[in-house]
Each structure stands twice: as C-alpha cells, then as structure tokens.
C-alpha cells in the first residue's frame, strides 16, 4: 500500500509540472528541426506626430546646401533643444520644408522620404543635392505583467513584438503567455489583436511587426489576480492548505487500514 501511495504522489507531481509547463513555455508547438515561414521585417512608415531631421548636402555648393538645413541658432536655450533641428509631421502628414514649402511624407518610409525630398531639391534647387532623413519620436508602450513596463523608443526602422517584450525585460511569472493584447490605431478606430507566445503562429501575426504608438498589454494570471486583495489571498491560502490536509488525511487512512 505504501508503494501505491508513492506512485500516486509522483503521478500528481508530474501532472502538476506538465500543467505548469503548458502555461509558461514559449513556442511549445515548434519542433527542433522544423523550419517555419516567418514574416519579413517591415520598415516603419512615417506618421503624423513623428519628428524627422532632414539634412541637405552638396559637393559643389556646400554653402548653398547649408541654407536649407535647420540650425539650432545661437541662443543658449535653442542649442540645448535638438527639436529645433527637427520637423514635426502635422495631422495631414506634411512638413513645411525650409526654403521649399509643404511636402507630404506621412506613409513613406524614412528612405522613401529622403528620396522624395532629394528629387525636389535636384529639380531646380541644387543639382547634386544629397538628402538624408532621420526619424525621431517613435515609441511603443508595454504595460502589465512585464519586468520593466513603460514606453520604449524605436531606434531602428523596424521592431518586432518579441524584441519589444525582450526590451521590457520579458514577462513575469504572473503574466499570461496565451493572451497578449496589442492595441493599434487604425484610422479613427483602435483595433485589438491577440497573440499567444506559446504558439509558433506569432511569427505570422498581423502585429508581429510593430508600428509606432502600438500598445502591448500583458494580462495577469489567476494567481496574480488572487493577490489583488489581502482577504482574497488569505482565503485562497487557507482553502489550498485545507484541501492538501484533507487529501493527505484520506490517503493516510487508506494506507494504514
């Protein structure tokens, strides 16, 4: 009878362990040698509210090119503010380019915007103009059960959801891996997408490639929600211990009969 008790106890431990693994492990359905189709990295497009820096250079007329570059001025307050050298894309997707006028850049990648502005300069302003565009003020927000929630700056032309979660310090043990919410502004509406980190399907999710202003929310699991109040937490602890004590008492009676 003692042998049966040990076997039963080991089985219970194994079942509990497997159940925990299913809740915690990432990419559970991905085999070791399996190759899966993954979305190509998508370059971010400029959007209203983004800030961009535009630099114009010329080999033959460098002084002329300098006239089209924003400068920080000579005042102490202006030299300390890098925004003085950046254009803010307005609500219509335009910038008012120095010496040129209004240019539509929203919806273009950084490289496409540079090419468009360069063509404008070469068509009547500076024949050998070379234009570079740098993007600023692009962020995503990560909330909920991660180690370092907050706003994350996008410093490259692309960012995946896995990279963003990694930059936020990964999920805590209390975060639900099966229901990651991604809120995205699409036109005049906010759309919600759901991602399961336990599945390889994440690599083909519509939100695998993030966009600026996306919000990632990691929902807490039942254990974390049960700790929201002291009364609830105490009740859960007492009930668990009563259940365990009852189970062990029953087994002990069966074994020693």
pLDDT tens digits along 133-186:
999 999 999 999 999 999 999 999 999 999 999 999 999 999 999 999 999 999
pTM, entire model: 0.76
- The Cα 151–Cα 167 span in angstroms is 10
Q: Provide the residue range defining the domain that includes 110.
A: 51-136
Burial class (CB in 10 A: 0-12, 13-18, 19+), 76: exposed
Residue 45 forms part of a structural domain: no
Average pLDDT over residues 25-43: 85
- The Cα 52–Cα 83 span in angstroms is 9
Of 133, 106, 134, 137, nearest in space to 119 by CA: 133
Q: Quickly count: other Cβ atoms within 10 Å of residue 197's Cβ.
A: 21
Sequence-separated (6 or more) residues with CB below 8 Å from residue 136? 50, 51, 52, 53, 86
CA torsion 242-243-244-250 (nearest 10°) is 100
Residue 2 forms part of a structural domain: no
pLDDT the model gives residue 15: 40
Count of domains observed in the chain? 3
- The Cα 198–Cα 1 span in angstroms is 40
The answer to whether residues 67 and 130 belong to one domain is yes
The answer to whether residues 36 and 63 belong to one domain is no
The answer to whether residues 204 and 250 belong to one domain is no
Residue 209 forms part of a structural domain: yes
The answer to whether residues 107 and 184 belong to one domain is no
């Amino acid at each position: 009878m003692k042998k049966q008790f040990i076997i039963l106890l080991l089985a219970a431990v194994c079942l509990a362990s497997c159940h925990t693994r299913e809740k915690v492990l990432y990419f559970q359905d991905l085999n070791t040698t399996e190759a899966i189709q993954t979305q190509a990295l998508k370059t971010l497009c400029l959007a209203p509210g983004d800030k961009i820096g535009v630099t114009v250079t010329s080999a033959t007329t460098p002084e002329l090119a300098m006239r089209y570059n924003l400068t920080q001025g000579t005042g102490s307050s202006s030299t300390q503010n890098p925004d003085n050298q950046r254009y803010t894309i307005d609500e219509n997707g335009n910038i008012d380019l120095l010496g040129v006028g209004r240019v539509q850049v929203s919806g273009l990648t950084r490289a496409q915007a540079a090419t468009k502005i360069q063509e404008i300069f070469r068509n009547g302003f500076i024949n050998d103009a070379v234009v570079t565009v740098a993007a600023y003020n692009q962020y995503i927000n990560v909330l909920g059960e991660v180690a370092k929630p907050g706003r994350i700056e996008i410093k490259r032309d692309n960012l995946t959801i896995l990279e963003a979660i990694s930059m936020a310090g990964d999920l805590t043990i209390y975060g639900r891996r099966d229901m990651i919410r991604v809120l995205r502004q699409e036109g005049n509406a906010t759309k919600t997408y759901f991602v399961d980190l336990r599945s390889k399907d994440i690599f083909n999710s519509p939100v695998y490639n993030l966009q600026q202003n996306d919000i990632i929310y990691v929902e807490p699991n039942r254990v974390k929600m049960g700790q929201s109040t002291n009364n609830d937490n105490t009740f859960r602890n007492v009930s668990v211990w009563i259940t365990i004590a009852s189970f062990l008492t029953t087994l002990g009676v069966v074994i020693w009969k």
